[in-house]
Structures are given as structure tokens and as C-alpha cells.
Structure 1
């Protein structure tokens, strides 16, 4: 037999219904069983009544069994319809429509209402009405006979059970009613909270700083928030109902739109960037996320567009890129771009180059002088004019870069596999650059300001090997440029292998010299200065480097390197400090011997040079009147007023000043008369040929005459022969000699020991 279909119980009544099924099942089972048993003892001749009551008890027990199996719907149907049938049969047996029989049906109807729902209850009420009509008709026809209650105890139990069941149903109904009231109140509270949450969400969407657009599945706009209106300039009524592609996403490229639709068709979210257009045509860069909106059953009903304005961020990123790759003054690519281009031209590592490129470094000659004389603003204009002039002659595939200051770089592409031919082409272009810059450069729009500067160029080919890299190429070009500048400027120089080796040697010397100053590897040497009688009057302080690996390094190796870097200041400070300590020894104090110390331009121009020297003299206890500082004419001329001021401060300390290499520089008498100096040194180039060359002899006599006129001491350098000494002494009896004829440079300890024994310098063998 097929099982009756289950009728689902309402969720909010589930617990009450199940409780009612249990109570009604127990009541029916107990009432039917007890009454059936009582009737069996009192009226055994009425087996039908007994059986019907026992059946009712069986119905109640079966309903309880189904309830234990969690088959609540079947238990409810069995309980209601089984009891209804049993009660109807008992009513028919007991005489149809009468008081006791009618008491059963209200209870059954209440149970049906709570257990089976409205439809089943109406069905039961209808059947009950038809049954009552049948009972009435049968009673009119006299078909029922009066029936006396045979067992009063059974009747009392029956009535009590009816009352208990009715009361239970009523109480449960009331309980369920109160539960419904509470549920209704809770539902109202939940609805209010949901409404508040929805209002909050709506305010968040409306007040969001980002544009929010909702479209239907046809991509027609249904909603836009205030941010969209402000950002695009469109009013809501202008866009609602219109295609998103015309207003909200009109910046998407066709390929982007196809990708967007394919992603949404898969039910996924799409993210990307677009350059949308406002109502006034202005562009807006936006980061966009388009996501599907799903209903509770899972189907997609709308799409939402979330759009963030990234215009400023994109503009900032472009500015950062420009600053990182381009020069802010000339708008040319910068050094970073140069290195990127050279790296791109390197080719595959480990493979020989198939074509040659060229790197040219260009440096303006005398730009520093122009900038100092005309000011930084005109200097900037000059650099911009140079950039424009060089851009005009740049090949289509070339790259022009401002490296730094007045230094530019040009990369020439694809000059061929033949290195010799590529070199000639690069050199020809370098000459073209120099010629272009020799034409006047206009610095004002009206043409009233012009400048004309030459340029030095360093050239190297790239790549020169399979392992050649950008930094090596830049180093080679820099070395070649340095050589061109040293040659006098206005030249183009190619890098040669020997130049690279020399640069590496200079770098090694600089690195090791920096360590040597603090490591105690420097040595003081002294070369005697004597009068015409051969008596020692003092010495010039020289420095030597006792290298732990290479031995004694000649000054010509490390002094130029020190002068090109900041090491000359440290080196000069070390020499000056040790010279002051040497002057403090008794030999110098007792015999009033002088020490001469060469000053570098960088050392002399330091703002704190004079206070530093004052501190050295005080710390050592040396007599400043025994110290002579030698400076060159070029140092004085470069900043004459500053030089004169410092010389005046030194003279106030008692320190003498000597003009070194006199006669090889400007030798202007106008400058000479204003300088607070006490000594001049005749350069060795004049002394060497003075006895045999009339021109040199005349120059020496002129220098001696100037010295006598200004009352200056004269020291002659490079005196190596007796003829030279005699020539000088005949014209200046008070002259001081310095040269190999009277002593070579020697360690300070050896010089001190010899000077302490004798007062006369040893004349060297001329042979």
C-alpha cells in the first residue's frame, strides 16, 4: 500500500505541533484502551463498542510510534483521521446525534487545525457536517434506537478525557498563539533592523567617494550614485535607462569590452582600467571593478560597476617616470635612460657583437667660467640652447642625454660590424657636434644674448666584446673625455686600451693612498737651501710614499692623483703638521733654519685653513717666523682678493709667503705689488739654460731686478752646476740656491743628523 504523501509542517509551528502530536497520541491511546477494557467487563454482549474503543487506543499508539520515527506528518494524519473515523463509528453505534457524541468533534477539529493545516481542517469539518446530516436523517427515519450508558465509570472517564484533551489543546493553542505573537514581534524587530541596515547601506552607496553604477543584464543603467554625477557631469535622468557604454564605460577599448563581457558571462568579476570621458569631454582615468549581482536563488539579475578615480595617481606616476628618466631643465633623457639604452644594445651575453654602436661624452669648454660670469640663470639657458642645437643634428635612431652639469652624451646606433669604419663615423659625428656648437647660441628670444662655446668629446665603441657592459662603456668614454680636456679642450679623443689601464692605475693609487695617509706610510724628505757661501739656511719639505708592496713611490705617481681628488687636502695637512713638529726641534730654533712647504690650491682655499695652521703651530710649539708657505701664481690669480686676505692673516702670524715657479705664469707686476709676499722662487726651466742662453739669462736678470725692487728674497730652484750657481751669485750675492749641486732630497732624520754635524751643504759631483 502506498504511503500517504507527507504534508510539511510550517517552520514556526514545528515544535508546538510535534508536542501536540505526542499529547494527543497519548490521550487517544489511553482513553481508547481504558474505556475499551471497562466496557469489556460491563457489557460483554456489545463487542462492537469494545472493539471500536480498543481501535481508538490502537490509533493513538500507532501515532506515537510514527512520531518516534520522526514521521510527524504521517503521525498527525493517522491520529486525526483515525480518531475521527473511530469516533464517528462510535457515534453511529450510540444513537447518532446526542450530547456525548457531539463532544468529540470540537476536539478533533482543533487537533486538525493545528496538526494538518487549513485545507485538511476544512475537509474534516465538511465531512463532519455531512455525517451529522446523515445522523439527523437516520434519526428522523427511526433507524437509531435509544442506547443507555451501561457503564457509568467508563462514561465518566470518557468525559474526563474529553475535557483534559480539550484543555490541553486549548493551552497548547494559547501557547502557540503567544509564540506567534513573540515571533511577530521578533519579526518586526528584525524587519526594523533590516530596514535600518538597508538605509545605512543606501547612505553608504549614495555618499561613497567612488562612482557606483548598477546596470541590468542588457548593460542599461538603472542607478548611479552622487559621486558618478559629480565626477562625470551627467545628471541622473540623462543616464538612467541609457547604455553604460555611452556614459559609464565609454573609455573601454573594444578588446577590453569583449574581455569584460566574456568574464561576466562566466559569472566572474572583471577588473581593469579605463580612460573615461566626462560630459565636457575631459578624460578621467579610472580603476574599474564590474561584478554580477546574484539573487537568493543564485541567478544573476544585475551588474554593479565600482569605479575609482586614479587620474591624479596616474599623473603622479607619469611625473615620477619623467623625473626618473628625463632631465628637468632640458627635458632630455637622463643618465638612467642612457644606461637602459646601452644595456639594451649590449646584445646576448657570451656572443660576440654583430654590429658596433658608439658612445660620445661631450663636455662644454669654459662653461664654469661662463656660469660664474653671467649667473646660473644664463647658464641654464645656455644648457637648454646646447640641448636644442644638438637635438637638431641628432640622427633618427640616436639618443641624446644630459648626463650631469654641462656634460651630454650621444649614442649612435648601428655603425656596422667593422670597428674601424664605425670609429671613423663616430669621429665624423663628433666633429659635426663641435662645429654645430661653434655657431652662436641664442639665449634670448630677441637675439640680444648670445654665447659661443667649444666642446671636448670622448668616444668609445660599444660593445667591444661579448662581456662588455654599459658601465664599462661609460667609464671608457669618460676616460677619453678626460684626455681631450687635458689636451686643451675643443678636441675629440678616442678611448685607447692604454688609457683604460692608466685610469685603473690612478684609481688603485687613489684607493691605496687614502689608506696610506692614516697608516703611517708617508715620509718627510728635505732638500737643502743654501746661501752663496754654501751655508744651509733651511730646506724645502717634500713628501714620499713608502708603499708596503711597491717600495718608495715617486711623487710624480701619487701627487697628481691626489690633486685630482680630495686627497690633496688630507695629504697637505699631514705634511704641514709634521713640518711644524720638525720646526719645533732645537736645531731649527738655535740656528734659525727655515722650512718651506708647498700648498695646494684646494688646501689654501679652505675656509678654515688659517685657524688650522694657527692650531698646528700652537700645538707643536714651532716658531711661525721660520715657516715659509709656497703658493703658485695660478692659485693667487683665480681668487685674488681671497688670496690677499689669507696672506695678510698669515703674515700677521709671522709666516712668510713665497711665490713658487715665478716667471712661468702671469707674472703681472700689478698683482705682485699688491701681494703680501716675502720671497719668490725662480723656476728651474730658467735656471737651467741661463748661463748659455741669452734669452733665459735676460729673464733671470729681470726677475732678480724685480725682486730687488720689491725687497724680496730669491730662491733659485734646480741649481745643478757650478756655472749656474756662479751666474746667479754674480747678479744676486744674497740669492739662495736649491738643487742637486748642494743636495738631493733625503729623509728628514738623515738631513737633521747631517745638518747637526756641519753647517755647509755638500756639493754633489757634477759628473
Structure 2
């Protein structure tokens, strides 16, 4: 072999040796071949080609070559090193002419490193596949055009992909399935378009599925050599996490016992109300409610019993407000109502509904009881610009209610800020009023009710008077409002009823049966045991029921009309006569009036004062008298002070009157002196109205 041929072989980068076609022995080799085979180049020369063959394919080739069948061979194979180790190679064997002689050129490339790299890649791929399948996230890999390159089992499970759909590998159907699975397919499609337009976009969002599952979706660009080649989508089931977060949010914003909003949530809602007020000028009110003597329930019946009561109170309060309003529990027995879009009238209406809700009897473990509350009202913006100010002022008003006797509501006024003297005066008056009841300092005066035609006394209105050793003569206009605000009006009303019945019974026993009229306050009328209390008082006094007339205002009767109707029917069943006081100043309908078992209409003094010169007042009085006649009712006018007024009323057909023209409210001795000269009045039930009253009493009245 010439030097030029050897030089050519040496210049080749791969391992090369020449095999003589006749002897099939190595006649030349380069250094790369010696290195591959692990020997010196000289040691390689002269070796038979078969000794280097490590596979049946190579053995077969060299056998055929020895038989003169010269064919080309190129494939992956192995070569045997001198130390016996088989080395993986990519080899080719070509028949060639070297220096005019036939030979085989054997070229080999060591594949050991390549195979190791491929093996490592296979291991890495297997590990990656195992990792992808074991992850809790669903994974989807796509190229930039959206074709699916890979997805794991978790992805299929999260999206509930059918097995046949997975087997088909139909990308369009898979994506359509996903789109139809979300609750907002339009928004889902829009977000996909935005992602497709930005190849390097990293994004995350939350998907709600029709199945109820909530998925967090994260998309990351997949890059190769710094260029985006696809996207990796991960989907994580966060249904439980969302639920837990919602539970935490609920716990953070609601009272654990009642489920009502707590102070934190109340603060958020007040902030929204403040924003609405600033934007649209909408007023709102805060009512702070504190249960009266609730500690007694916990102390005597136990904390668990008290908690059950609080839960029911929360339910009642929630039912008593509108949907736009809120009831929050601040702790213990303290609640706050946020009354949206409400001025003073709306706040007062809410307070009335709350008081009515609480006045219904509670029944737990066979025990019947009543819970009352003291309520303070603060209005925005007059009483505060933020939650703290409003709560402070509502609390001040509520505490004034507490100090005045409880079981009532009160608005915050400027005197709560600066009128400490006035507050002390009212507190002193309230205390003295309670002392007066306990020490029998009240007395009754009686204002005669006179037949318009004959001038005979046919009845009397019993009116409370108070003479105090320290305060002097306290007019009703001063202490009655305090009693109404504090709830003490109930006790006063009971006192008036019992003493009036006792006096009426004495007159009746003396042969002077006289109809006695007694005013009833709204709070007294709403007491659960009011009707039963009247019945007991009648029985205790022995006075026939038809000699007692209870005066109720229209506003009392139209509040909770069905309940009022039930109560007045129950009273009528006792034989008690019923009169509508201050008639004409309220809003009762004629249809409702016709359903009431009343016997008398009392014309309010505001219509009488300017008679007969006031044409408007005269027309109203005339209409009331005619209405009374049409309904078969007697009509009495109050506040009659002049003969001209009495004459006008007689011409209209008014049956009776009372007022200073005949006499003011008189002490007992003075009244009896007026009564003595006349023949005993004949007082009988008004049969036509009594017949109506005798109709079956609604079942709701049986609770009184």
C-alpha cells in the first residue's frame, strides 16, 4: 500500500481500516481505528476481518466476501475490541480499489456516547412521564397552532373526558368538550383567543364547570433555544380550596351562633351605604338593639338555653326587616340593624316591626316567655358620618331607653351630645314616675261625657293625674311621653284600667251605672296578655263589661290589622264597648272600619276647635257624624269649649260631647257632685253593634 493511500486513511476522522479482498486480512488502519479497538495500529495489521466481527451480520458478510460476493454493508453494529469488549458502532463496508488491488474499506463511528445519551434521554422521558402522571394537576401540552402533543391522565379526569374521545386523539373534539364543560363558554373562548395572540403570555384564571368543579388554569409558554414552540396548560382542582376559603370568609364575617353578619361585615355594608349616600343622597339608619334583662335568662336557665333564644331572636329580626336591610349581632345580646334608604319614618317603622316581632311569646322546652328590647336609632347624615359615630349615637339613645324603663325605642338627638341636663331631668322624671306608682301617688280624674241634647252625664273618661311631693303637679303631657318611650306606659295603663273599673263598680253598686272610657296605648294593646288582663280586671271588679269602653286610636288598629281585628273581637266578646279615639286623624279604610266591632266614634278636638266658623272643619265633622250614623255608631266630640260648638254639633246629629263647656277633668268628689243632681243614666249595650261583635272570634284572639 502506497504512502499516499495511507496518508488518505490517516486523514479521515472516523476509524478506518482496509481489508484485503483476497485474504480478508487488515492491510492498513488509521490511528482512530487503533484507538477504537484498543490496540496499537501495528497490532491491528494482519488480523483477519472475522476476528473483529462481533455480530452474526458481520460474520455472514465476511464469509460471503470470501466467496467472492462483494456487497456493500451499512448499519449499526458492534465491533470487538482486542480486550474482547463489544463496542457499538455505526459502520459501513465498501468494496474499493486501492493501488489497483481489490479491498474493503471499513469505516466505523463509535456510538457509545450516543447510546448513553439516548438511554439517559429515555430514562428522563420515563421519569418525566411518571412525574406527569403522578402530579395532582392536569397537564396539557400543545404546539403554537393548538395541536395536542401530550396530556396526562389527571387532565382527562378533571375534564371528565370520555375514553373513546381520548382514544380518537381528535383535538377539535377535545377542545369542544372543554368549551361545553365550562359555565361561561363565551368568556372561556375570549380568553383562549387572547392567549393565542400572545405566544409568550403567562396567564392564570379560574374556570367553573357545570359539574360543580372549580379549576385554576395556568398557561406557560414552552420555549426551545429561546423561541416559543408551544404552551403548557396546567389545571388544578381548587373546588375544596374555594369552599374552604368561603367557609373562612363566612366565619370572618358572620356570627358563629346566629349566622347573622358580625361587626366586620356590618362595617363593609355601612361603607357601601355611605358611598351610596355620598353618590345619590340616600339616607339610612342604624338601630342598636339590646335585649332587656337577658342576663337573667342565662343565669337562671343556662347559657345553652340562652343561646337558643338568641338564635330565634336572630331569625325573628331577620324576618322583620326588608331584603335590602341587614341585621348584625355584635356580641352577647346586642344587635344592630342597618335600615337602607330610610329616613326617620322608615327607621321608626323598622323599630315597630322589631318590637312586634319580639313581643310574640317564645316557647322553648315547654316554657312560654317574652323578651323585650331597648332600641336606639341614629340617622345618617344627621347623627354621624361613619360607623363609629352612628353606633355611638345609637348606643347613647339605646342607653337612654334602658335608663327610662326599657322595652321602647328612641331616636338620637342633640341632647344626647350636649343635653345632659335634659337627660337627667327625664331620668329623674322616669324614676319619680315609677316611685309614684309604687307609692300610690297617681289618682284618677273624670271628665263628663254629656248627651248633646239633654245635657245629662252619660259617661266619663278616666284620666290619670300625678301630684308629686318633690316635682309638684306633673301634667300628663309631660310624663305620658316619657312613659311611652320607656315602656312604662303599660304599667300605667294597667293601673288606670284597674282603678277605673273599681270606681265604676262602686257607682254601679250605688245604683248609678255609668259608662267609663279608658284610653289604651299602642304598646299596652300589643302586649300578648292584654285581652286576658282586661278579662281578669273585669272579673275582679265585678263591673259589667258593657259599662267599660276602651278608646283606641286609628293608628293602633291599622298596625298589624289582622292581629288588631282579632284582639278587638276578643274584647267585644267580653261585652266591652270599643271607641275609635281621635277619629279622622288616622288612615283606616271604611272597609276595615266596617269589620271592627266598635260602638263609638270620637271626633278629634282638632276638628272642633274652630267650629262653626271653619268651613273645612265643619264639613269634616258633618261627614264623620253621617258616617257614624250609616254604620250604626254613636258619635262623641271632644274638646267642646263653646256653646256655638255644641249647637253646631247638635245640628249635625252628634250624640255626645265632652270638654270645658261642661267641665274639665274633675277630681272624684267634684265629679260626683256634678253627677248627684241628675237621675241615674241608663247605659245599655248598643244592640246593633253587639250583634256584630257576637260573631265568632278569630282563633288568633285565643292567645290573649
Compute the TM-score of the two structures, normalised by the length of structure 2.
0.43
Compute the TM-score of the two structures, normalised by the length of structure 1.
0.40
Larger helix proportion of the pair = 1
